[in-house]
């Protein structure tokens, strides 16, 4: 799985991959909704591994933490999801699913790591 930061940088720097229309959807806490912006309204700053700058249609500019990204679409097809893997119907049939960049917080590796952390934590320490 490819982390969201790597996926966004791939869109920014890989000319062959970037020959498409991209949109980035993120959860806006103040509006409590999914906000989708075209790639042209996203700015990545060198050295910033935690957020990107979003330019809203009304001209408002703000920082969005990468963990709030919920989806990335390429030509309308879901290529990355912050909450789940795209279903077969949403996945672009021309893209090999094993090489499609996805980022998931609920991967088996993450669950095993979390299990080890919980097992090593003294009882009641998290209460």
Kindly report, residue by residue over 15-70, the tens digit of the pLDDT: 999 999 999 999 998 889 999 999 999 999 988 889 999 999 899 999 999 999 99
Q: Which residue has the higher pLDDT, 11 or 3?
A: 11
CA distance 10 to 19: 12
Kindly report, residue by residue over 110-127, the tens digit of the pLDDT: 666 666 766 776 765 554
Using the predicted structure, report yes or no on whether residue 107 has a pLDDT greater than 60: no
The three-class DSSP label of residue 7 is helix
Overall pTM > 0.85 = no
Residues 81, 66, 42, 8: is their CA dihedral positive or negative? negative
**Torsions phi, psi of 78, nearest 5?**
-70, 120
Q: Which fold has domain 4-120?
A: SH3 type barrels. (2.30.30)
Helix and strand element counts for the chain (H, E): 2, 7
Task: Kindly write down the DSSP assignment for every residue of 27-39, as one continuous string.
Answer: EETTTTEEEEEEG
Which residue matches tokens 């080890």? 116
pLDDT score of 99:
44
């Amino acid at each position: 799985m490819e982390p969201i930061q790597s996926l966004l940088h791939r869109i920014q720097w890989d000319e062959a991959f970037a020959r498409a229309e991209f949109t980035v959807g993120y959860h806006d806490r103040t509006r409590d909704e999914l906000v989708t912006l075209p790639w042209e309204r996203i700015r990545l700053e060198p050295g910033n591994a935690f957020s990107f700058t979003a330019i809203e249609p009304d001209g408002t500019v703000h920082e969005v933490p990468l963990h709030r990204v919920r989806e990335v679409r390429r030509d309308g097809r879901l290529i990355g999801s912050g909450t789940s893997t795209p279903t077969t119907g949403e996945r672009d049939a021309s893209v090999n699913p094993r090489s499609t960049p996805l980022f998931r917080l609920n991967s088996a590796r993450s669950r095993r790591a979390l299990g080890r952390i919980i097992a090593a934590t003294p009882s009641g320490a998290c209460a």
